[in-house]
């Protein structure tokens, strides 16, 4: 399935971009969009890219779930209701476990389920002018379907997580960084260039190294220190085998010859990497 109606999928070498493309509806996520995202993530995963950027068309990143198409219209038909929301859980679970580095490029409005998407990405580069909010209480529910999980795992402190969940107060991109939702905030006019610079930097790294860095981080969150040490050592040997010991044979060999400074730059990937 690559004839998408609600999203634009671009794969350029080892980098991919998925643009949610319902600007007339502030990129609200309808059941059809959720279904397309499920297939698009599989397509991008199979292309074995290093980086995936998610962004929105127009002046919105994601205006949340499509409140009419996901909730209001199918509410009295339980099967239709479940089907529409299941697609969203499907692709969001996949996004959380995605092998490539995921970057949310937040260009504008970002509400509810949109914040969940950002919360599931590895990196978020956001426009200072973007507007964020957990608006659920404004229409009588709590942040559900995984959004509260991302609130709990992305906001630094209980007092802030609950404040924004209970009040639905909006905040901007700079505040999103302060609260732990975003990696960096830049003026909207610089968002594309700054994101591209981060993507270009990631493309200089070995894909397997990026994947294993994510895997180890995810597991380390749930392990105690001695278990994590064991796990990290075991994963290092897995990485070594999968990369044909590139860190010793290429990177540290190059450092030994004083060809580069690992603190300031990355080693040159062999051409087949």
Three-state SS string over the chain comes to CCCCCCEEEEEECCEEEEEECCHHHCCCECHHHHHHHHHHHHHHHHCCCCEEEEEECCCEEECCECHHHHHHCCCCCHHHHHHHHHHHHHHHHHHHCCCCEEEEEECCEEECHHHHHHHHCCEEEEECCCEEECHHHHHCCCCCCCHHHHHHHHCCCHHHHHHHHHHCCCEEHHHHHHHCCCCEEECHHHHHHHHHHHHHHHHCCCHHHHHHHHHHHHHHCCCCHHHHHHHHHHHHHHHHHHCCCHHHHHHHHHHHCCCCCCCCCCCCCCCCC
In whole angstroms, the minimum distance from the beta carbon of 42 to ligand ACO comes to 23
Residue least distant from ligand ACO (Cβ): 112
Q: Which is nearer to ligand ACO, 147 or 206 (CB)?
A: 147
Instruction: State the nearest-atom distance from the C-beta of 134 to ligand ACO, in Å.
Output: 7
Least CB distance from residue 242 to ligand ACO, whole Å?
38
Q: Which is nearer to ligand ACO, 71 or 260 (CB)?
A: 71
Summarize as ranges the residues that interact with ligand ACO (CB under 6 A).
25-26, 28, 63-68, 109, 111-113, 135-136
Q: How far is the CB of 117 from ligand ACO (least distance, A)?
A: 10
Question: Closest distance between ligand ACO and the C-beta of residue 88, in Å?
Answer: 9
Q: In the complex with ligand ACO, which residue's Cβ is closer, 36 or 66?
A: 66
In the complex with ligand ACO, the residue whose CB is nearer, 65 or 179, is: 65
């Amino acid at each position: 399935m690559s004839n998408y109606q609600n999203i634009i999928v671009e794969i350029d070498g080892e980098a991919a971009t998925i643009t949610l493309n319902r600007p007339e509806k502030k990129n609200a996520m309808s059941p059809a969009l959720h279904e397309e995202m499920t297939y698009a993530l599989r397509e991008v995963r199979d292309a074995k890219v290093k980086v995936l950027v998610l962004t929105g068309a127009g002046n919105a990143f994601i205006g949340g779930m499509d409140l009419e198409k996901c909730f209001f219209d199918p509410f009295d038909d339980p099967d239709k209701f479940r089907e529409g929301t299941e697609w969203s859980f499907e692709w969001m679970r996949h996004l959380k476990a995605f092998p490539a580095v995921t970057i949310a490029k937040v260009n504008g409005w970002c509400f509810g389920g949109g914040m969940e998407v950002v919360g599931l990405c590895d990196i978020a580069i956001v426009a200072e002018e973007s507007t964020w909010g957990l608006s659920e209480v404004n229409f009588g529910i709590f942040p559900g379907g995984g959004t509260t999980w991302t609130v709990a795992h992305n906001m630094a402190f209980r007092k802030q997580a609950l404040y924004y969940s209970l009040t639905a107060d909006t905040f901007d991109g700079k505040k999103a960084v302060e609260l732990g939702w975003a990696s960096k905030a830049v003026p909207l006019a610089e968002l594309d260039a700054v994101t591209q610079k981060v993507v270009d930097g990631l493309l200089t790294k070995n894909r397997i190294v990026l994947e294993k860095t994510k895997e180890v981080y995810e597991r380390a969150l749930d392990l105690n220190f001695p278990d994590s040490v064991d796990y990290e050592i075991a994963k290092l040997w897995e990485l070594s085998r999968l990369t044909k010991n590139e860190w010793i044979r290429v990177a540290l060999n190059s450092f030994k010859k004083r060809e580069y400074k690992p603190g300031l730059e990355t080693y040159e990937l062999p051409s087949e990497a």
